[in-house]
């Protein structure tokens, strides 16, 4: 919940949204960037479910999406939908919080 | 560490069940891995523990950082008045090691700066500096023959709290969390709060290893509640993150982590899953816990004028009671400011005032709620202070007492401890133990005994050796037990 960590997830999401087209590519790329490996199918399915969960929440609560989009000091990227940024941002936050991304073994 | 060997160690089924009492608790693991991750209220400890029926269920340790002077608080030596300003006899000092602060300097006897009186039916001798502690004289057992190995603060505190002067061993609370498990899965099993004297007159630091878990799994580490801002760092959700969404995402995250655990078998992944789960629960349980405004006025008054000041020892004592009520196993309060090398006559009274009333109020409050019988309260520092004066004995504004590990005092209450009792005696100068020495490892062995643990049997194998809180020492001192 450190704001800098949330900000990192938010900007990570913006970057993925701009660089990748489909949800599948976006999730797989983000996962690979954080862990240096491709996700398994099971992992991808969990990520997809998390994305769906987040999308549903922010579609119902667009003001929350706007608030999320302002996290941290880094200027929000132009031309992106706040709901997309917030939903992906939450999934990025989750990926960055996996044991694998946090622990170097 | 070779990850493949770690993997083999932790995922072999036979290993789990065969080594369960020494490795990670199989029962605890099953409850964490199972589908009902959040259902149970309790998390089991190790199988076979408690070893016998416990008297105490939990511990509140009121650690007095900096080393309270025994000469001016609990060790009454009226005869010393006649010897004021004379040299401490060499036969008493016995060539013992001193700190560099008083080595080679004169050692003039400085009697207690405060008168003593007898209190309660038990007639315990307690200094006038501690009037509230005096009011619980019949509930406490004063040990007047404590001694330790270390002569400087950090090693001595580490020795009390981990059983070793070197950092890196599991702390007392971690051992209890590991061995006995948790009684409330909404709060950490081991909670820590720190405070210091308002004048910040000494530079003691609270090192994180004082509540570290060493080599036992890190979920047994103490969780420190802070005295300002969020009680637990980053406990509040940032803007734009709803609690309901959080819950769902944490489930997803746990599933991702569990997949990884199945592959690599690192028990620290289980810790991480449990920590996220705990953090989520604490988002609700901690603000509720920390809100002392729901306490009736007479209770607040009992803890003294500082009770509403966040981060004060008084408020921490009240929070300790609230944690005890919720079944938290080990509450470690640490209050710094007892290190009066050069300001004893001016600072000690302030220090006593800040800690005396809250400590006594806690014992009374627990008693009034019927919790004292099952809660062991320990009050004491890492060593004592010298009977001889450090600095100019004629300058009351600039003298005090140096570190003294050879003999000091500590009190305990509740949880199977004999009230209105005392144990051990010092010599005429409060310098050496004269009767019934009580070592730090004896304290650890005795208090573990009250929790139903044989201190020789609570072990953890690490780097080829079975470690325990009492190292290879310690004896249960039955005379202090009720």
**pLDDT confidence of residue B15:** 38
Residue B136 near residue B401 (C-beta atoms within 8 A): no
CB spacing of B240 vs A57 below 8 angstroms:
no
CA angle, residues A98, B191, B247, in degrees to nearest 5: 35
Q: Using one digit for the tens of pLDDT, what is the confidence trace for B145-167?
A: 999 999 999 999 999 999 999 99
- Find all residues with CB under 8 Å of B95, minimum gap 6, and list them: none
Please report the pLDDT score of residue B17 as a whole number: 38
CB atoms near residue B14 (< 10 Å): 7
The pLDDT tens digits of the residues spanning B42-67 come to 788 899 999 999 999 999 999 999 99
Report field, pTM of the whole predicted structure over 0.80:
yes
Condensed to tens digits (0 to 9), the pLDDT of residues B181-199 reads 999 989 999 999 999 988 7
Bond into B346 cis (ω within 30): no
Q: From the DSSP assignment, how many helices (H) and strands (E) are in chain B?
A: 13, 19
For testing contact with chain A, the best of B1, B238, B276 (most A CBs within 10 A): B238
B252 lies within 8 A of chain A by CB = yes
Cβ <8 Å between A53 and B264: no
Confidence at residue B118, expressed as pLDDT on a 0 to 100 scale: 98
Given pLDDT bands bounded at 50, 70 and 90, which one contains residue B115?
A: very high
pLDDT tens-digit map of B12-22:
433 333 333 33
Give B90's contacts (C-beta < 8 A, 6+ positions apart): none
Residue A47 above 90 pLDDT? Answer: yes
Tell me whether residues B252 and A46 touch, CB distance under 8 A. Answer: yes
In this prediction, residue B232 carries a pLDDT of: 86
* pLDDT of A105: 60
Residues in chain B with CB shorter than 8 Å from the CB of A64 are: 240-242
Nearest CA among B444, B447, B378, B368 for reference residue B413: B378
pLDDT at position B103? 85
The pLDDT of residue B203: 67
Interface test with A, best of B1, B234, B241 (most A CBs within 10 A): B241
Residue range B422-445: mean pLDDT, rounded? 98
How far apart, in whole angstroms, are the C-alpha atoms of residue B377 and residue B140? Answer: 9
């Amino acid at each position: 919940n450190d704001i800098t960590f949330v900000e990192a997830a938010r900007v990570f999401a913006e970057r993925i949204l701009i660089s990748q087209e489909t949800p599948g590519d976006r999730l797989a790329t983000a996962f690979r960037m954080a862990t240096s490996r491709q996700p398994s199918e099971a992992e991808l399915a969990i990520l997809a479910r998390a994305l769906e969960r987040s999308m549903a929440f922010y579609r119902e609560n667009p003001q929350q999406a706007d608030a999320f989009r302002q996290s941290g000091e880094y200027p929000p990227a132009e031309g992106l939908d706040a709901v997309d940024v917030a939903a992906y941002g939450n999934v990025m936050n989750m990926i960055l919080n996996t044991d694998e991304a946090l622990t170097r073994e | 560490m070779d990850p493949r060997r770690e993997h083999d160690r932790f995922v072999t089924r036979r290993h789990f069940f065969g080594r369960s009492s020494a490795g990670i608790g199989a029962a605890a693991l099953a409850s964490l891995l199972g589908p009902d991750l959040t259902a149970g209220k309790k998390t089991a400890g190790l199988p076979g523990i408690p070893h016998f029926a416990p008297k105490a269920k939990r511990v509140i340790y009121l650690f007095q950082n900096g080393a309270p002077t025994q000469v001016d608080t609990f060790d009454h030596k009226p005869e010393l008045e006649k010897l004021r300003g004379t040299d401490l006899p060499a036969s008493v000092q016995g060539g013992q090691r001193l700190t560099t602060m008083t080595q080679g300097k004169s050692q003039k006897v400085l009697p207690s700066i405060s008168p003593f009186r007898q209190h309660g039916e038990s007639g315990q001798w307690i200094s006038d500096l501690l009037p509230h502690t005096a009011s619980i004289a019949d509930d406490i057992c004063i040990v007047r023959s404590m001694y330790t190995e270390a002569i400087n603060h950090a090693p001595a505190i580490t020795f009390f709290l981990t059983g070793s002067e070197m950092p890196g061993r599991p702390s007392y609370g971690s051992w209890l969390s590991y061995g006995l498990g948790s009684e409330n899965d909404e709060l950490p099993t081991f909670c820590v709060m720190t405070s210091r004297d308002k004048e910040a007159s000494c530079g003691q630091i609270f090192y994180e290893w004082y509540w570290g878990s060493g080599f036992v799994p890190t979920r047994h580490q103490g969780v420190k509640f802070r005295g300002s801002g969020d009680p637990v760092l980053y406990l509040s959700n940032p803007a734009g993150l709803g609690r309901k969404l959080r819950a769902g995402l944490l489930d997803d995250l746990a599933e991702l982590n569990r997949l990884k655990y199945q592959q690599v078998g690192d028990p620290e992944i289980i810790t991480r899953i449990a920590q996220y789960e705990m953090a989520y629960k604490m988002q609700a349980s901690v603000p509720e816990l920390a809100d002392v405004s729901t306490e009736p006025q007479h209770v607040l008054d009992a803890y003294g004028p500082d009770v509403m000041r966040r981060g004060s020892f008084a408020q921490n004592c009240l929070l300790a009671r609230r944690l005890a009520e919720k079944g938290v196993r080990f509450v470690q309060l640490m209050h710094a400011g007892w290190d009066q090398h050069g300001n004893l006559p001016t600072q000690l009274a302030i220090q006593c005032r800040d800690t005396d009333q809250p400590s006594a109020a806690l014992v009374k409050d627990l008693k009034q709620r019927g919790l004292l019988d099952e809660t062991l309260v320990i009050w004491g520092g890492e060593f004592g202070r010298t009977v001889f004066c450090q600095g100019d004995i004629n300058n009351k504004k600039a003298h005090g007492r140096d570190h003294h590990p050879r003999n000091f005092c500590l009190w305990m209450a509740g949880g199977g401890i004999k009230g209105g009792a005392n144990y051990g005696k010092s010599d005429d100068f409060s310098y050496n133990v004269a009767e019934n020495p009580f070592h730090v490892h004896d304290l650890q062995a005795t208090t573990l005994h009250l929790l139903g643990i044989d201190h020789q049997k609570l072990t953890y194998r690490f780097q080829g050796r079975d470690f325990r809180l009492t190292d290879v020492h310690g004896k249960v001192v039955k005379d202090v037990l009720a």
